[in-house]
Copies of this chain bind each other. A is one copy, B any other.
Amino acid sequence: MKNKILLVDDDVDILEILRYNLEKSNFIVETASNGIIAIEKALKFKPDLVVLDVMMPEMDGITACEKIRELPELENVIITFLTARNEDYSQIAGLEAGADDYIDKPIQPKVFVTKIKSLLRRRLNTEQNDIITFNDITIEKSKFKVKFQEKEVKLARKEFDLLVLLLSDPGKLFTREEIMNRVWKDDSFVGDRTIDVHIRKLRQKFGENLINTIKGIGYQSKEQ
């Protein structure tokens, strides 16, 4: 099954170079030249992954990213930014907007394709892999079982969902908003402290070193 990639950049040359390299590696590629077109195309094309330039006319990449993240049809899409090294937009801003990764310009096509593949593989892992391991934690999702240092740990549902989310992509920063959306879904709106309390419980059960707080933004598991 071929993966579909949507490339978004206002520079036609870049679009063509990337398209060429991705197609050579057997991806299906669609392109857009600004954020507004990107969203339209994304809805029709249903890409597995979107590459977004940060600086674009009409609608910049970060805004586009936020919009895409609000679309339920594209729930599982992977988003990665293209950032010029000196761009003032910090990477944190990008991650805050819900991106999964970013790629520095200037782009080296081989590195680019490798990165795309690895991002897709990472998702593949989390989606179809029933077993997640992280240091001495083993999660068997279908069995709802969690082991920590050989011993089985009992988790309540929200704790379990939160842990699975954080470990599904080690090192990725999850914003509070994203955590809210993905663990609490459309549940009645609950206060922010609720997340803290659940983080607390996970830390109690798995030690203080599992989860980092990124103040003002969210949480992440330590890189493996």
Contact = CB atoms under 8 A, between A and B. Distances in A.
A149 B111 CA distance: 13
- Copy number in this complex? 2
Contacts of A111: 131, 133, 138
Interface stretch (A12-20, A28-36, A64-72, A84-92): A84-92
A112 B171 CA distance: 23
A142 B173 CA distance: 6
Interface residue SS majority, chain A: mixed
Interface residues of A, number: 41
Interface string A173-209: 1000000000000000000000000000000000000
A108 interface: yes
Contacts of A117: 88, 90
A216 B157 contact: yes
A138 B111 CA distance: 8
A131 B143 contact: no
A101 to B, nearest CB: 8
A144 B214 CA distance: 8
A86 B133 CA distance: 18
Interface string A132-175: 01000010101111000000000011000000000000011100
B157 A217 contact: yes
A110 B96 contact: no
A110 B124 contact: no
A104 interface: yes
5 contacts: A86-B118, A90-B121, A114-B131, A114-B138, A145-B171
Interface of A: 1, 3, 85-86, 88, 90-92, 96, 104, 108, 110-111, 114-115, 117-118, 120-121, 124-125, 130-131, 133, 138, 140, 142-145, 156-157, 171-173, 214-217, 220, 223
